[in-house]
Amino acid sequence: MSETIERVKCLIIGSGPAGYTAAIYASRANMFPVLYQGEQPGGQLTTTNDVENFPGYPEGVTGPEMMIELQKQAERFGTDVRHGWITKVDFSGPVHKAWVNGEKEIHADTIIISTGASAKYLGLESEQKYLQMGGGVSACAVCDGFFYRNQEVVIVGAGDSACEEAHYLSKLCKKVTMLVRRDVFRASKIMAERVKNTENIEILFNTETEEVLGDGQVVTGVKVRNNVSGDIYDIPATGFFVAIGHKPNTDIFKDYLELDETGYIINAVPGTSKTNVEGVFVSGDAADHVYRQAITAAGTGCMAALDAERYLAAKESELAMAN
Ligand code: NDP
């Protein structure tokens, strides 16, 4: 082996609630996990302000604070948390290989993928400004909808997610305005019908976002454009929700793992964290386009560490029997 190759029992890729929970369990099981934090240490929660729905925090906690606490908890039991990004893997042989920042090579007995998914945004400067400030732009209605109770909000998107989130928001907010860029929904008929039949949801077809308006601190409205008539006008709102899809961060695994048509990793055995490659497990949003919550990510992180531990135990007893 060249000097640059490091051998580990358990490599965890990603540092959201899934990765850190996997790390807590794996380190307590003496698997000496090495965790690479990836491009966005702490994951999607670091772009969230208050997390009020994670059990155990009666007063709520900010996303970044929660991720620091999770990291400390993983480190307390010995997880080796490292800066760095896994840029390439090779799962073709009995040893699972991964490369950090395109250079350092790691050989791992088990790998837990917790690379998450990234919400897609429109990319407007004003949208990014209020997103970064925590001033009223969100890509998760279930996480942030509660902060807009009895207020007026705007949501962009026309798929199942947008319909589900608009419906969720309609139960909390005074009014939900839904911006659909074409003259039809992409969502399934039943979901589209549900929003159409909800009194406090107004659907604006052929309508695109020009700019998210604000007072420099928080969102105050949205400037929109009708792409048929060309009309431009403002809609008052305190919240701007973007529901135009997510992209799972799974590109580097596509040559080895079974992915669905949108890139989510498929669980080879439903109800477990197993992938189609023995010894490679998945947790969190990289395999979940349905729930996408911190608590579900943490739950599947726990499952992945337990599955990895059992896999190693079975391998070790196989080896002992052979000798
Ligand atoms: P989708 O890719 O299905 O839909 C994205 C929507 O966002 C489309 O309507 C698209 O418009 C719109 N959009 C994309 N870019 C822009 C833009 N720049 N400006 C305005 N609108 C834009 O993503 P979803 O997250 O909704 O769903 C992903 C998958 O998950 C789907 O298979 C869906 O069925 C599934 N899902 C299922 C659920 C359920 O069954 N309960 C719940 C949630 C998701 P356009 O149509 O014009 O392209």
Nearest atom within ligand 1 for CA of residue 164: 42
d(CA 3, CA 12): 22
Same domain flag for 266 and 305: yes
d(CA 208, CA 38): 33
Q: Which domain holds residue 211?
A: 121-242
Any idea what the CATH number is for the domain that residue 28 is in? 3.50.50.60
Same domain flag for 214 and 125: yes
**Confidence grade of residue 1 (pLDDT, cut at 50, 70, 90):** very low
Enumerate residues lining ligand 1, CB below 6 A: 122, 156-162, 164, 181-182, 186, 244-246, 262, 289
**Looking at 10, 143, 163, 173, which residue is catalytic?**
143
Same domain flag for 10 and 100: yes
Q: Which residues contact 232 (CB under 8 A, 6 or more apart)?
A: 210, 223, 224, 225, 226
**Confidence grade of residue 82 (pLDDT, cut at 50, 70, 90):** very high
Which residue among 186, 224, 264 is best mutated to probe the pocket of ligand 1, counting the most ligand atoms within 8 A of its Cβ? 186
**Looking at 50, 109, 140, 307, which residue is catalytic?**
140
**Confidence grade of residue 45 (pLDDT, cut at 50, 70, 90):** confident
Q: Are 293 and 9 in contact (CB under 8 A)?
A: no
Residue 50 has pLDDT above 80, yes or no: no
Same domain flag for 86 and 25: yes
Active site residue 10: no
| Closest C-alpha to 285, from 16, 48, 50, 67 | 16
Same domain flag for 109 and 149: no
Looking at 183, 210, 242, which one is the last position of a domain? 242
| Closest C-alpha to 180, from 228, 250, 132, 127 | 228
Active site residue 80: no
Tokens of 257: 């793992």
Looking at 242, 270, 300, which one is the last position of a domain? 242
Active site residue 140: yes
Looking at 242, 264, 285, which one is the last position of a domain? 242
Residue 149 has pLDDT above 80, yes or no: yes
Helix (H, G, I), strand (E, B), or coil: what is residue 35? strand
Across the range 12-35, mean pLDDT stands at 98
The pTM of the full predicted model, rounded to 2 decimals, is 0.81
Same domain flag for 171 and 28: no
